[in-house]
Amino acid sequence: MREAEKPIGVFDSGVGGISTLAAMTRELPEEDFLYYGDTRNAPYGTKTTEEVLACVRQVVERLMQQGIKALAIACNTATGAAAAALRAELQIPVIGMEPALKPAEEAWQGGSILVMATPLTLKQEKFLNLMDRFGAHAVPMPCPGLMELVEREDSAGAKAYLEKTFGEWDMNRVDAVVLGCTHYVFLKNMIRAMIPEKTLITDGNAGTARQLRRVLADRGLLREGSAGSVRMETSGDPEKWMPVMERLYRKGLEIR
């Protein structure tokens, strides 16, 4: 098989990265994608960096065995924990992601910028460096437990969580909310309904999808011709998780 014809591997600690996968399939509809949700080991965001790296190595080994041409880490936490190591070890391109803090800072109007993310993401050197560059008005907001509500498709629980979180702020004095976890993107419409229309909501999915296109083009790895495909796998119980993943993929295609 020609290198360009091989699939792109995409993974996350669970189902959140499906929102990134959806953005990638919109950007690159001719590509084949293989998504792996490590639901058995979720969440990553409350683990240590060493624990996350160990989980990631197992996932990547499985994806590499299936002949991927590029690896996309659809998880802010896993990017911070493992991207540098994977780039040093693998021959294929590795695309990571980070909270979309730069566009939020560019939209600053004198208020606060709330950065919602997992506890581990907010502690990582990658995020701290991002804060040094674009975080002059940013307030890190650790959100333990929110990712799990998305995994369970618990809309009522997520709504109550968000109402409590935003209730601690005068949202009229907040210029932007940064969704620093791919799971949170599935709550974007819910968040939009809770906060003032003027408040920007940013996430890293579209930017990561564009970066994937650039990297593939630079390496001569863009697939041409017929429409691509999407295949999904999980480390958890397929009977439980595959229907969830398929529902969220359809939902992710509708998110802008």
181 included as an active-site residue:
yes
Tens-place pLDDT, residues 157-184: 999 999 999 999 999 999 999 999 999 9
Amino acid making up residue 36: Y
Adjacent-strand bridge partners of 73: 11
In this structure, the number of other CB atoms found within 10 A of the CB of residue 59 comes to 23
- On whether the CB atoms of residues 138 and 105 are closer than 8 A, the answer is yes
Catalytic residue among 24, 75, 179, 209: 75
Residue by residue, DSSP assigns 169-210 as S-GGGEEEEEE-SGGGGGGHHHHHHHS-TTSEEEESHHHHHH
What's the CA gap between 168 and 165, in Å, rounded? Answer: 6
H helix count then E strand count, the chain:
11, 9
Quote the pLDDT of residue 255.
Answer: 87
What's the CA gap between 31 and 229, in Å, rounded? Answer: 7
Rg of the Cα trace of the chain?
17
SS3 33: strand
Peptide bond into 7 cis (omega under 30): no
Quote the pLDDT of residue 149.
Answer: 96
SS3 91: coil
Catalytic residue among 15, 83, 117, 181: 181
Tens-place pLDDT, residues 128-146: 999 999 999 999 999 999 9
Q: Show the DSSP H helices in 13-67 as ranges.
A: 18-27, 49-65
> Tokens 């506890």 map to which residue?
119
Quote the pLDDT of residue 65.
Answer: 97
Quote the pLDDT of residue 146.
Answer: 96
Q: What share of the chain is helix, strand, coil (3-state, %, to 5)?
A: 50, 15, 30
pLDDT band with cut points at 50, 70 and 90 for residue 226? confident
Quote the pLDDT of residue 247.
Answer: 95
User: What domains are defined for the chain?
Assistant: 3-97+205-254 (3.40.50.1860), 101-203 (3.40.50.1860)
Residue 256: pLDDT over 80: no
Over range 224-247, report the average pLDDT.
95
Quote the pLDDT of residue 191.
Answer: 97
Tens-place pLDDT, residues 85-121: 999 999 999 999 999 999 999 999 999 999 999 999 9
Quote the pLDDT of residue 2.
Answer: 87
Residue 234: pLDDT over 90: yes
Tens-place pLDDT, residues 36-84: 999 999 999 989 999 999 999 999 999 999 999 999 999 999 999 999 9
Average pLDDT of the residues of the chain: 96
SS3 221: coil
Residue 193: pLDDT over 90: yes
Peptide bond into 99 cis (omega under 30): no
